[in-house]
């Protein structure tokens, strides 16, 4: 059960955190895995400057594992490849998808993980520029990648698309108007694509992570992190693998009658906790 032998998966935003964990878990389940990201270890030191403060921080700290993750996957006797890809660049996405199809033969699983989450400000101080950026990355990015892979999945009459939402999208987030709005919209996109994909045996689902102990979360305000942990029923953050295991399940044949759901992997943060 839960084998992905013979499947080819593509994970966006796979340089670290959830994307890296997703890629490794899919490989351990038997899939060949392609990793895309805007950041690669072999990039020039100033390559992150145009991508925002969080990308710059992760690059400066050396928290970029895109190529390393692909190497780890090959050690699992799975095929892997890395492509530098910006989910807001439609032409680049089409080129990458075509290259993957040509090299690997098919694309069976798409994990839309790439996102921006470094825009935090009350509504009167929200940056209009960053609002637009978050729409382009978090929502339109998932749309762009899903649209590009759709013809391949439709042709083969099988596919799995898994979108990364957030409890910020289901519960709201103070100072997170752009992030919360885009993640809520990802759930709407998920349900619409699930309806369209059903006739082609393409399932589309959303994961709704809670507080997960990624590198980005650990770099946040410690006092705020403690407050968020106190909201969870488990009183602790989740691990990236908690998300990755849910994604693997939704990608398998065992989940073939599940589509259009928003699966909370959140430690009960949405419950009435006291």
pLDDT in tens, 114-151: 999 999 999 999 999 999 999 999 999 999 999 999 99
Residue 18 has pLDDT above 90, yes or no: yes
Residue 148: what are its φ and ψ, rounded to 5°? -70, -35
Query: 83: part of which helix (H) or strand (E)?
Result: strand 80-84
Q: Which residues contact 238 (CB under 8 A, 6 or more apart)?
A: 209, 210, 211, 212, 213, 265, 266, 267
Residue 24 has pLDDT above 80, yes or no: yes
pLDDT at 219: 81
Q: Average pLDDT of 57-76?
A: 91
Residue 80 has pLDDT above 90, yes or no: yes
Which of the listed CATH numbers 3.40.50.1950, 3.40.50.720, 3.60.90.10, 2.60.120.700 matches domain 8-265? 3.40.50.720
Q: Which two tokens stand for residue 133?
A: 């950026």
Place of tokens 């699966």: 263
80-84/109-112 β-pairing: unpaired
Q: Which residues contact 95 (CB under 8 A, 6 or more apart)?
A: none
Candidate from 48-52, 79-83, 159-163 with smallest mean pLDDT: 48-52
Average pLDDT of the chain, as a whole number: 95
Residue 215: pLDDT band with limits 50, 70, 90: confident
Residue 274 has pLDDT above 80, yes or no: no
Residue 26: pLDDT band with limits 50, 70, 90: very high
pLDDT at 43: 86
Tell me which residue of 112, 252, 106, 136 sits closest to 190, measured CA to CA.
Answer: 112
**Cα four-point dihedral sign 90, 92, 98, 101:** negative
Residues with catalytic annotation?
179
Q: Which 8-state DSSP code applies to residue 56?
A: H
User: What percent of the chain shows pLDDT beyond 90?
Assistant: 87
Between CA 63 and CA 3 the distance in angstroms is 30
Would you list the domain boundaries of the chain? Answer: 8-265
pLDDT at 44: 74
**Taking a C-beta distance cutoff of 8 angstroms, is the pair 241, 214 a contact?**
no
Q: Average pLDDT of 212-236?
A: 90
Between CA 33 and CA 31 the distance in angstroms is 6
Residue 183: pLDDT band with limits 50, 70, 90: very high
Between CA 125 and CA 175 the distance in angstroms is 9
**Cα angle at 125 between 168 and 182, to 5 degrees?**
30
């Amino acid at each position: 059960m839960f084998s992905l032998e013979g499947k080819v998966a593509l994970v966006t935003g796979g340089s670290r955190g959830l994307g890296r964990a997703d890629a490794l878990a899919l490989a351990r389940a038997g899939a060949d895995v392609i990793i895309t990201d805007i950041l690669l270890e072999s990039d020039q030191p100033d390559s992150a400057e145009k991508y925002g403060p969080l990308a710059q921080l992760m690059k400066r700290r050396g928290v970029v594992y895109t190529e390393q993750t692909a190497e780890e996957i090959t050690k699992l006797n799975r095929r892997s490849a890395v492509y530098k890809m910006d989910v807001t660049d439609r032409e680049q996405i089409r080129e990458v998808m075509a290259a993957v199809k040509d090299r690997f033969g098919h694309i069976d699983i798409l994990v839309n993980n790439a996102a921006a989450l470094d825009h935090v400000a009350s509504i009167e101080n929200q940056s209009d520029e960053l609002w637009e950026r978050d729409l382009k990355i978090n929502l339109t990015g998932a749309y762009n990648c899903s649209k590009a892979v759709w013809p391949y999945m439709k042709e083969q009459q099988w596919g799995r698309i898994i979108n990364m939402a957030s409890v910020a999208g289901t519960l709201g987030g103070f100072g997170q108007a752009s992030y919360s709005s885009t993640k809520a919209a990802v759930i709407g996109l998920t349900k619409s694509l699930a309806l369209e994909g059903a006739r082609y045996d393409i399932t589309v689902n959303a994961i709704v992570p809670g507080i997960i102990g990624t590198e980005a979360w650990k770099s946040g305000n410690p006092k705020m992190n403690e407050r968020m942990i106190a909201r969870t029923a488990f009183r602790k953050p989740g691990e990236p693998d908690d998300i990755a295991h849910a994604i693997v399940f939704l990608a398998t044949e065992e989940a073939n009658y599940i589509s259009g759901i928003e699966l909370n992997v959140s430690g009960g943060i949405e419950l009435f906790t006291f």
